[in-house]
Every structure is written in C-alpha cells, then in structure tokens.
Amino acid sequence: MIMGAPAKLESIYGLLAEFEQADAVVDAAHKAYAAGYRQMNAYTPFPLEGLSEALGQKPTRLPWLVLIGGLVGGSAAYFMLYYASVVSYPLNVGGRPLHSWPAFIPITFEMTVLGAAFAAFFGMLALNGLPHPNHPLFAVPAFSLATRDRFFLCIQVRDPLFDIERTKHFLEELTPRVHEVQP
C-alpha cells in the first residue's frame, strides 16, 4: 500500500472529513480508531464528551503541572517570609516569636494560587502547542466552520496506515465531504 509515490504522500498534511452532527464525528472517531488509525485528531466548535477517548488520547498531565505550580509558589512564598522575618531582618516586637507562621499563611496561600494559576494557564498552552498562529488546516476553506457548527476528523499522512486512496475511501463511507489538507 505504500507503493504509491511517496512524493505525493508528502504533498499533503492529511485528509479532513467534515460532519454536520456532533454524534457523527464521535462515531467516526470510534470507527477510525477501530480501523487502526492513530495519528488523527478531531476538531469541534465546543468540547464534546467522549471524543478524546474515542480517538485514543490519554488524559492530560496538566493537573500534575498545576499541583507542582502551586507547591512551588507556596513554598517559595513561605521561604521568602521565613527568610525575611527570621534571617534577614529579625525584628523583636515585644518578644513575639520571629517565626510567626499564622501571619505567613495569607501570603503563602495567595502565592500558591498564583503559582497554580500560572501553571494551569501556561501549562495548557504549552501542552497544546499554542501559540501556533498558522496551521495547514486553516488553508481548508471549510475549516473555518470548525468554530461555528461543523465537526471535523483529520487523519494525518504520518499515520503508518495512511494511504491516500484507502483512507479517502474509508472517510467517504462516513461522510460525503472529505477535503485534502495541503501542508
């Protein structure tokens, strides 16, 4: 099946199937996964439950990043408070303890939240590979409807099972509209 001209394979990014119904794209994702395709992604105007699992995508590691971000923020803040109040600038106020931890809690809490929020926001972008202003898919005119009311499934050329004719045939059985995506 890879006897087709490799040059031709390189000339496209993948095949993009267009669906009008949300259920159809989930269904197609299941079928494509069952057919053995792995290098594929679906594009929807809003998050669809079960789609990511249907495509065989693993749950994201983002929560761990957020946890680490929060821990780093909180411990850095507490260390700073401790260092300032006990080591760098000890101030004896009526013999009260220098390491007055209850007074350190609010700032520690705020910095924990800040660290975790930064991790959530920038972690999400980084894992998603954003910002990424241009992408081959944007060249497909119909793809602009992915942010309106259409649902797409793209099988990429780098999938080992990808064969322009067979994959096209496979997708055309699911939907009448299949676009070639130029790289």
Partner 1 sequence: MSRRRRPKQQTGSHRETGRPAAGASSSETSAVLGPGHTFASVTDQISAIVLTRKTSRGWIFGFAISFTLMMAFLYATAYLFARGIGIWGTTIPVGWAFPIVNFVWWIGIGHAGTLISAVLLLLHQEWRTSINRFAEAMTLFAVSCAGLFPLLHMGRPWVFYWMLPYPNTMDLWPNFRSPLVWDVFAVMTYFTVSILFWYMGLIPDMATLRDRTKNRFGQIVYGMMALGWRGSAAHWQRYEVAYLLMAGLATPLVVSVHSIVGMDFAASILPGWHTTFSPPFFVAGAIFSGFAMVTTLMIPLRSIYALQDFVTLRHLENMAKVILATGSMMFYGYAAELFFAYYSGNEFERYMTINRVLGPYGWSYWALIACNVLTPQILWSRRMRRCVPVLFVVSLIVNVGMWLERFIIVIVSLHRDFLPSSWRMYYPTLWDITHFVGSIGLFFTLLFLFVRLLPVISIFELRSLVHETDEEE
Residues that bind partner 1 (CB under 8 A): 22, 29, 41-48, 51-52, 55, 57, 59-60, 62-63, 66, 70, 80-81, 84-85, 88-89, 100, 103-104, 106-107, 109-111, 113-114, 116-118, 120-121, 123-125, 127-128, 130-135, 137-138, 144-149
Q: Quote the least distance from Cβ 95 to partner 1, whole Å.
A: 14
d(CA 147, CA 97): 59
- Strand 40-43 and strand 151-156: pairing? antiparallel
Q: Quote the least distance from Cβ 133 to partner 1, whole Å.
A: 5
Residue 42: CB atoms within 10 A of its CB come to 22
| Nearer CB in complex with partner 1: 5/103 | 103
d(CA 55, CA 52): 5
Q: Quote the least distance from Cβ 103 to partner 1, whole Å.
A: 4
| Nearer CB in complex with partner 1: 111/164 | 111
| Nearer CB in complex with partner 1: 109/168 | 109
Q: Quote the least distance from Cβ 85 to partner 1, whole Å.
A: 6
| Nearer CB in complex with partner 1: 42/157 | 42
Q: Quote the least distance from Cβ 77 to partner 1, whole Å.
A: 8
Longest CA–CA span in the chain (Å) reads: 86
Measured at the CA of 30, the angle between CA 27 and CA 31, to 5 degrees, comes to 90
Looking at residue 57, the DSSP 8-state letter turns out to be: P
Residue 24: CB atoms within 10 A of its CB come to 16
Residue 179: CB atoms within 10 A of its CB come to 19
